Structure 1
Amino acid sequence: SMAYIPAGVPIRGRVEGLRRIRHLDLHFDAPALTRRFGRSLDHEALRMSRFQFRDDRIAMLAGMIAAECGNDRPLHDLYGEGLLNALFASLFQIDQPDTARRRSPLSRRKLRLVTDYIDAHCLDRIRLADLAALTGLSETAMSHAFKAATGVPPHRWQMQARVDRAKAMMARDVASLGDIAEATGFFDQAHLTRVFKSIVGVTPGAWMRSTSRQ
């Protein structure tokens, strides 16, 4: 099980009943990653948390990185750098610049199937495998085709749907922001605020003030 946590996001966890666990933390500098991958890097992906996902390729790379960290005779620095580059490219789905332009978008029918599913289940944990099954494509191909059709990855679409749910609750003034965050699938109020601002452009409080004046 893996998680990607953007910088500044508070996290907490608890483990019970385990006798042994291996845990690998990788910390990186976003500006350095931008310099390394340039325009191919989706900066929205850097700001979006991902919890309890699985990816065999990333797991294999992480295992090789962990093994190299414990190697008594470490290999050349380029080996570790290459593993990290491969892991980041997989984690953030970083394409070659010309490859991204050649991606074929989902057909209208398949796009409607996927977006309707995401909108209906936006408060749940949605797996790429579930979306891929709707389209008959692989997880990677579906993700790229979805982004080619909509301009955003599936996870971002889900966050937009959650924000729409939060907006509806805020417009009715039925609960506090903390309760709204919990009801719409966000980690806490701070998580809601961060995602809301990245999508809407203003904080929830500023949005409510602006709508109340209309």
Structure 2
Amino acid sequence: ESLVGSIVAGLLDIPDHETEKANGRLTQAQMNKLVSRIDGLSDSRLTVAEMAATVGLSESWFANVFKHTTGKTPLQWQLARRIDLAKSLLVESDLAVAEIAAQLGFTDQAHLTKAFRQIAGDTPAAWRRMRQSH
């Protein structure tokens, strides 16, 4: 009975998930799917549960392997990605910082400024001035 149980359990395991669990990392295809999903959103925001569902993993397992893969939590990674988008908009457009904040799903200009300073080390306006002067 034990042997039959082991064989059935082995047959029911999905190989992709077993491989992911073995090395504890997201595959490049999963990361690409996640980036594609986030890029498709107008405000670039997903919950951890939505990110996990995008790549077909449980929320807790996803959070664990995501941190192993990127070195950041899913929300830290997502925030850094939003700040990168803000940097692009600051350089490539004449939008006001408040407009950029609204476009990227920040609650207001102050929220963007606080997050931007934490990640980039400067305010969005000062960062833009530095880039424009060069």
- Using the size of structure 1 for normalisation, the TM-score is 0.47
Aligned residues: 113
Superposition map of 1:59-78 within 5 A: none
The DSSP-based 3-state class of the residue aligned with 2:24 is coil
Which residue of 163, 175, 193 maps to 2:83?
A: 163
Q: What secondary structure is seen at the aligned counterpart in 2 of 1:174? A: coil
Cα distance in 1 between the residues matched to 2:84 and 2:67: 20
- For structure 2, the 5+ residue unaligned runs are 1-22
Q: Which runs of 5+ in 1 are unaligned?
A: 1-102
**Counterpart-to-counterpart distance in 2, 1:204 and 1:131:** 27
- The 2-side partners of 1:211 and 1:108 are apart by 32
- C-alpha separation in 1, matches of 2:64 and 2:39: 19
Distance change in 2, residues 1:120/1:156 (3 Å): farther
Distance 1:147 1:122, change over 3 A: farther
Residue of structure 2 in register with 1:133 after alignment: 53
What is the rounded CA distance, in whole Å, between the counterparts of 1:141 and 1:124 in structure 2? Answer: 22
Q: Does structure 2 conserve the Cα–Cα contact (< 8 Å) formed by 1:177 and 1:189?
A: yes
Change (3 A) 1:157 1:120: farther
Q: Which residue of 1 aligns with 2:63?
A: 143
**2:129 paired residue number:** 209
Correspondence 1:88-103 to 2 at 5 A = none
Letter in 2 for 1:119: D
Give the letter aligned to residue 202 of structure 1. Answer: D
TM-aligned CA distance change 1:208 to 1:179, over 3 Å: same
Q: Give 1:186 deviation, angstroms.
A: 0.6
CA–CA distance in 1 between the matches of 2:60 and 2:77?
A: 16
Asked if the contact 1:196–1:202 (Cα under 8 Å) also holds between the matched residues in 2, the reply is yes
SS of equivalent to 1:186: coil
In 1, the alpha carbon distance for the partners of 2:111 and 2:132 equals 23
Distance 2:61 2:92 in 1: 39
More helix by share: 2
What's the C-alpha RMSD, in Å, of the aligned pairs?
A: 2.2
Offset of 1:199 from its aligned partner? 1.5
Query: What CA distance in whole angstroms lies between the structure 2 residues aligned with 1:144 and 1:122?
Result: 27
Contact 2:30 2:55 in 1 (8 A): yes
**Are 1:182 and 2:108 an aligned pair?**
no
The aligned amino acid for 1:132 is A
Identity %: 36
Instruction: Give how far 1:194 is off.
Output: 0.8
Asked if 1:123 is matched to 2:43, the reply is yes
Where has structure 1 moved over 6 Å in runs of 4 or more?
none
Whose relative contact order is higher, 1 or 2, with alpha carbons under 8 Å and at least 6 apart? 2
> Once the 2 structures are TM-superposed, how far is the Cα of residue 173 of structure 1 from its aligned partner?
4.1
CA shift for structure 1 position 135:
2.5
The TM-score, its normalising length taken from structure 2, stands at 0.72
User: 1:106 offset after TM fit, Å?
Assistant: 1.1
